[in-house]
Amino acid sequence: MNSGFMLYFSEMKDPRVERTKHHLLGDIMFITIAAVLSGAETWNAIEDYGLAKKDWLKGILELPNGIPSHDTFNRLFATIDADEFESVFLKWIKSIQTQTKGEVISLDGKTMRGTRINGSKYATHIVSAWADKNELILGQIKVDEKSNEITAIPKLLDVLLLKGTTITIDAMGCQKKIARKIVSKGANYILSVKENQGELFDDIKDSFKVIKPSEYHQYTDFGHGRIEERKCSVITDLGLVENASKWKNLESIVRMERTRFFKATGKEQTETSYYISTLNNANEISNGIRKHWGIENKVHWILDVAFNEDYSRKRIGNVAKNFTNINRIAINMLRSDDKKASMVRKRLAAGWDNDYMLKLLKI
């Protein structure tokens, strides 16, 4: 099976010793991804999918010893090298990605709460990169147990194609080293600033008290039972930002004001956020900030609601990291398909319709 995504995943090293290889690595990978595309969330469900589709799978795969058991799936993904799996994932993404100048790529972290072992404070935390125009997860990296996103983000930036794009990151990623890394990759940045950058945060707020914005962009959004007005104000005079020169290619400081009116209750909410950017156009910056929310709505929310990732209790070996890769492979395949349907309906269709499954897998 050397077509579509399998062309890339067939290159992976099989971690099993020869005498235990009762099933081909490619067969196991194919069944796993097909099952997850169809809605499977556990190893038992993946085995059930294989058994239900056995006759169809026989026409595609070799299956020398039938359908693997759920224990076989579990053991294999617990031992597959997570870094190698991630590397193959990135190669596959680069093969289907169309680089778009000015595309907004958002980096954000997500904790898989179900992976927290009793008595431990640590749960698997993944930082993902989401390309808004391509609607693809470009890559992800697991945050080390004794580390945080500040050390993980530069590693993810290193392996991504970023030239001509705009990178958005929340306040955890507002670091001088990360700003330099983004610029070195030929990209612009919009970084959220909060109290974790105390001096910078205060300088930005003080600037907006005494300096008139060079320009602003305002727009209104209707939907979900509310009216939301957003005003993005940009200052390019950095005279009150004490260490402005230490932020690579810094061009502007930004204030985003949001006012939400809820129709059902008549209540109003206001929120103000601050940013720094290598850009100076209010419309462009405002668009980038709005696009950053896409990683929450189109990735994290989907993983929680459609894939139930928060309830996953896969903890053994590399299982948690490897299964997040599988989920993100599935999301990319479903997102890239032009079928007009929700993620849940597409997954149901993939399970019911073998031709649609082959279309998703590009086989």
117 has pLDDT over 60: no
What is the per-residue pLDDT for 5? 72
Residue 74 phi, psi (nearest 5): -60, -50
| pLDDT tens sequence across 189-245 | 999 999 888 899 999 999 999 999 999 999 888 877 788 899 999 999 999 999 999
| pLDDT tens sequence across 176-202 | 999 999 999 999 999 999 988 889 999
Confidence band of 23 (pLDDT split at 50, 70, 90): very high
308 has pLDDT over 90: no
Residue 114 phi, psi (nearest 5): -70, -10
CA distance 198 to 54: 59
What is the per-residue pLDDT for 313? 55
Q: Where in the chain is the domain with CATH 3.90.350.10?
A: 88-301
The answer to whether the CB of 256 falls within 8 A of the CB of 273 is yes
Task: Give me the CATH code for the 88-301 domain, please.
Answer: 3.90.350.10
What is the per-residue pLDDT for 299? 74
- Distances in Å between the Cα of 343 and the Cα atoms of 85, 311, 326 are 24, 18, 15
What is the per-residue pLDDT for 182? 97
- Among left, alpha and beta (phi > 0; psi -120 to 50; other), residue 186 is left
Write the single-letter amino acid at 13.
K
317 has pLDDT over 60: no
CA distance 288 to 132: 10
Mean predicted lDDT score pLDDT of the chain: 87
CA distance 346 to 186: 36
Decide: pTM greater than 0.85.
no
User: What is the mean predicted confidence (pLDDT) over 292-313?
Assistant: 68
32 has pLDDT over 90: yes
Q: In what order do the strands lie in the sheet with 226-235?
A: 136-142, 125-131, 104-111, 166-169, 188-193, 268-277, 252-262, 226-235, 215-223
C-alpha dihedral sign at 99, 104, 108, 110: negative
Burial class (CB in 10 A: 0-12, 13-18, 19+), 174: buried
State the DSSP code for 8. H
